[in-house]
A = this chain, B = another copy of it.
Amino acid sequence: MRTTCLLALLLSVVLTNAARAQESPVAHVVDSYIETSGHEMLRSLRELVAMPNVSENQEDVRVNADFLVDQFEARGARMELLEIPGANPTVYGELLTPGADRTLMIYIHYDGQPVDPARWRATEPFVPALFSDALENGGALIDWPEDGDEIDPGWRMYARSTSDDKAPIVALLAALDAINEAGIPLTSNIKFFFDGEEEIGSPNMRKTLDLYVDKFEDVDLWLFCDGPLHQSRKPCVYFGVRGITGFELTVYGATRNLHSGHYGNWAPNPGMRLAQLLASMKDGSGNVMIEGFYDTVTPLSESEVAELAAVPQIDESLREELGLLESEAPEQNYLQRMQLPSLNIKGIRCGAVGSRARNIVPNEATVAIDIRLVKGNVPRDMIQLVRDHIRSQGYTILDDEPTMQERRESGKLIRMQTSATGYPAARTAMDNPQVEPVVEQLQIILGDEELLKIPGLGGSLPLYLISDYLQQPLMIVPLANHDNNQHSPDENLRIGNLFYGVKAMAAILTAPPVE
């Protein structure tokens, strides 16, 4: 009885989606474009990621910017570099549609994370290479395909920024080409915001929004095309992101490294003191013990809780993939954890280990921590909670290295350096009227593939500038595979995700009017 009901339900979903797809010429256009032009997309991404784009290397970044201008001008867009002195340019563009009464802004960033070539196993960071699968799944290096060869969506392209965040650029170019070739009209004025400083925290984005405000006033919805898809590999959209702040702490011991034989057991060890301080911040189940840490979190609405519950549970398979028997706070699942603020150790430096270790009591120990924020958390207030906690552990907090005078006044000295690049979280309500047509169109193009709708992405983007500062709605349309090694060596893109990206971009370009 139950099985029959389920079957009926499933059939109706399939039929509905099939019907939708039939109604939609866009779905057919995109499918056949991927079929015929996959090789061109691979070449296009390969060309783009071969261009070094580490944010700090401004000359490299500008080469990318000029390339983007050329590519989008070739598709009829009016392009412009929005400059802030000393900053990487924002590549801005407009593709106006006569008669359209809605303006959509597509955000993608074209800069990339720093690279440490020695730690890459697949290839050099800016020498793209194609693999039959992910390295950790036994993928092997393969030749670039020739026209006519079949493309396996499971292939991976390795290089910095394949996933984060150049694939969306290639997908957008492909969607424009596909729609244009088929003679399908755009349904909105489309604008582009290609950020050149996302990986260093977009420090000039606010200034750009202020200085070029006339370009942004008429935007009805921002589409942020960045970040990974859900770990189930199902298509998904997000309606917010966590914010971020961070700090470094340095605990001081003696004025110099000391011989561990002659001073070990007498001189305080800053490594041990730092360990004790860190252990006081988080319990064995991953819950932050800093007083007030969870107090300012804005709870999810009922509908957000419901959508969250509808998302497939991926904890078990994710743990399996990552070689983890347990995750933090096991009573909460992955997505629930992403709706909470985090306190994460990015790194610890103290003395040396391995062949460089020496018999010393190190004179200092440093930890780098990031805090991910959710709606309700104010960055400076969260930092203040940490400061209060550190003081409660008996420390005197300094802004600089301790002077001898400060050393005489306190036995527990710590330096706290707070990041200047923090920003709060952002969230748009799922039932916002601007959001619905895009979600609907993407579901139509996907046919019977289910689209997940998730309140908040774990990662951070400076979207508060849109949601809170400009007071405009936003949604996030990611395309990268979750296992893309983002921000790490061996960053890669699953080729199937590039093809999915064309569907997502086509949905944005052809969304029905707001009702």
Contact = CB atoms under 8 A, between A and B. Distances in A.
A140 interface: no
Nearest to A358: B487
A510 interface: no
B487 A114 contact: no
A352 B344 contact: no
Nearest to A281: B272
A257 B488 contact: yes
Nearest to A344: B264
A1 interface: no
Determine which residue in A322, A352, A404, A460 has the highest number of CB atoms from chain B within 10 A of its CB, and name it. Answer: A322
Interface size class of A (residues with CB under 8 A): 35 or more
Copies in the complex: 2
A334 B266 contact: yes
Contact of A349 (B274, B353, B458): B353
A216 B278 CA distance: 52
Contact of A348 (B350, B370, B457, B460): B350
Contact of A354 (B323, B328, B356, B368): B368
A346 B353 contact: yes
A368 B347 contact: no
Determine which residue in A265, A274, A358, A402 has the highest number of CB atoms from chain B within 10 A of its CB, and name it. Answer: A265
Contacts of A266: 327-329, 334, 337-338, 458
Interface in A38-68: none
Nearest to A243: B261
Given A262-B458, A265-B372, A337-B265, A271 B345 contact: yes
27 contacts: A228-B262, A248-B353, A254-B324, A256-B485, A257-B485, A258-B488, A259-B458, A260-B342, A260-B346, A261-B458, A265-B329, A265-B344, A266-B327, A266-B337, A266-B338, A269-B328, A271-B278, A271-B347, A272-B279, A275-B279, A323-B407, A325-B409, A325-B411, A347-B353, A348-B348, A353-B366, A357-B368
7 tightest Cβ-Cβ pairs between the two chains A and B: A347-B351, A261-B459, A265-B342, A271-B345, A326-B411, A279-B279, A264-B344
Interface of A: 113-114, 136, 227-228, 241-242, 244, 248, 253-269, 271-272, 274-276, 278-280, 282, 284, 286, 320, 322-329, 334, 337-338, 340-354, 356-362, 365-368, 370, 372, 402, 404, 407-411, 457-460, 482, 485-488
